[in-house]
Amino acid sequence: MDSKNRFINIKEVHIKNFRGYGENPLTDHKYYSFYELDKSIVVFNGYNGYGKTSFFEAIEWCITDTVLRLNVLKDVYDSSFLKKPLSKILFINR
């Protein structure tokens, strides 16, 4: 990767047992899977509380091993229940 291109293209994300994402009863592997995230335009739409922020926080957690928003509130919000191995992410660089 050259010094001008520092972006990571994420092709798909699989989440299980992270914040509001529990185990998906509709799949054998129990992950909530999001595909085709490497398209030119990807839209996340949903009501309040439907997991849009949690989706991005799962990605942030896998990349940085922390969720900044929860770190700032760690005295108020106990984030110690989060277990990193239960969320996984697949990175595809182009």
- What pLDDT does residue 6 have? 73
Q: How is residue 50 written in tokens?
A: 């439907």
Distance CA 59, CA 4 (A): 23
- What pLDDT does residue 81 have? 54
Distance CA 46, CA 38 (A): 20
CB 32 within 8 A of CB 15: yes
Encode pLDDT of 23-41 as tens digits: 999 999 999 999 999 999 9
- What pLDDT does residue 69 have? 82
Encode pLDDT of 51-86 as tens digits: 999 999 999 998 888 888 877 776 665 555 554 444
pTM above the 0.85 mark? no
- What pLDDT does residue 36 have? 93
